[in-house]
C-alpha cells in the first residue's frame, strides 16, 4: 500500500519536481498538489493524504496556520514542513504548530524520502538546524532550571513520555499501555506542564537530550 502524499507549495516548478521524483518511489504516490494552505485544508478529506508536504511562505494561508488548522481538523494528520528557511522565526512556530518533520529544500532527495516514510510511521525527523534551534529555544526558556525536573514525573508519565519519543499517537499509546485515550491526553498534558515545554516534539527532544531513556532507545 503506497504512502499517499499531498504537496503544498506556491511554486509550480517545485510542485512538478517533487511530484516527478516522489512518484518514482515504489511506496509513495502523490495524490494532489495545491498552491496554499487554504487549498490543502479544503482538499484534506477528498485526497485523504497520509503525509502532507508543506511549504511555509505561501499566499492566502501560510504553512504554520495551515498546519494548525489541519491538525485541529484531524489530530492524526502528518504534516512535514519543506522550506528554504532555517531561522528561529520559522522553525519554532512550525514545530509548535505540530509539524511532524522539518526539512530544507536543499536537502538530499533520499533524506526527504526517509522523512516522509518516518512521518507515515509516526516518527519525527528534523533537519539538524531545526533540532539545534529547538534545543536552544528550550534552553532559553528554562534558563538555569534544574535538569532533574523530569524525574518528578510519575512512573506512568515516564511510560507515556517514552512512547512519545517513539513518535506514537495517543491512540497508539493507549493500545500499548492499556489505558484510555482520555487518560493518555491527561498524562501528556501533565508531562508538557512538568517539563515546561510547548508540545510533544519538544518533550521528545528534551527526553533524548537528557538521555532519559538511553538504554531503551
Position 192 scores a pLDDT of: 87
End-to-end CA distance of the chain: 28
Rounded CA separation 130/138 (Å): 12
Indicate the domain borders of the chain.
3-136, 145-209
Give me the phi and psi of 167, to 5 degrees please: 80, 20
pTM confidence score: 0.67
Position 214 scores a pLDDT of: 60
The CA distances from residue 110 to 44, 79, 117, 208, in Å, are 26, 18, 11, 25
CATH of domain 145-209: 1.10.10.10
Position 62 scores a pLDDT of: 94
Position 136 scores a pLDDT of: 65
Position 135 scores a pLDDT of: 64
The alpha carbons of the chain give a radius of gyration, in whole angstroms, of 17
> Which residues of the chain fall below pLDDT 50?
144-150, 217
* Architecture category of domain 3-136 in CATH: 3-Layer(aba) Sandwich (3.40)
Position 89 scores a pLDDT of: 83
Amino acid at each position: 500500500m503506497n504512502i499517499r502524499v499531498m504537496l503544498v507549495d506556491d511554486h509550480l516548478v517545485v510542485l512538478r519536481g517533487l511530484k516527478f521524483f516522489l512518484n518514482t518511489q515504489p511506496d509513495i504516490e502523490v495524490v494532489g498538489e495545491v498552491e496554499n494552505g487554504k487549498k490543502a485544508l479544503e482538499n484534506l478529506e477528498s485526497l485523504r493524504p497520509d503525509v502532507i508536504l508543506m511549504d511555509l511562505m505561501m499566499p492566502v494561508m501560510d504553512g504554520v496556520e495551515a498546519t494548525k488548522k489541519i491538525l485541529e481538523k484531524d489530530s492524526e494528520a502528518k504534516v512535514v514542513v519543506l522550506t528554504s528557511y532555517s531561522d528561529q522565526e520559522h522553525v519554532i512556530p512550525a514545530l509548535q504548530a505540530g509539524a511532524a518533520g522539518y526539512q530544507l529544500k536543499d536537502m538530499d532527495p533520499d533524506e526527504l524520502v526517509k522523512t516522509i516514510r518516518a512521518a507515515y510511521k509516526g516518527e519525527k525527523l528534523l533537519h539538524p538546524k531545526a533540532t539545534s534551534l529547538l534545543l536552544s529555544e528550550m534552553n532559553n526558556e528554562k534558563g538555569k532550571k534544574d535538569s532533574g525536573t523530569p524525574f518528578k514525573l510519575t512512573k506512568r508519565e515516564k511510560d507515556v513520555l517514552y512512547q512519545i519519543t517513539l513518535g506514537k499517537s495517543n491512540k497508539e499509546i493507549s493500545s500499548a499501555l492499556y489505558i484510555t485515550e482520555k487518560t493518555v491526553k491527561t498524562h501528556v498534558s501533565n508531562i508538557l506542564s512538568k517539563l515546561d515545554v510547548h508540545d510533544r516534539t519538544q518533550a521528545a527532544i528534551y527526553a533524548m537530550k537528557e538521555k532519559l531513556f538511553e538504554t531503551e532507545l
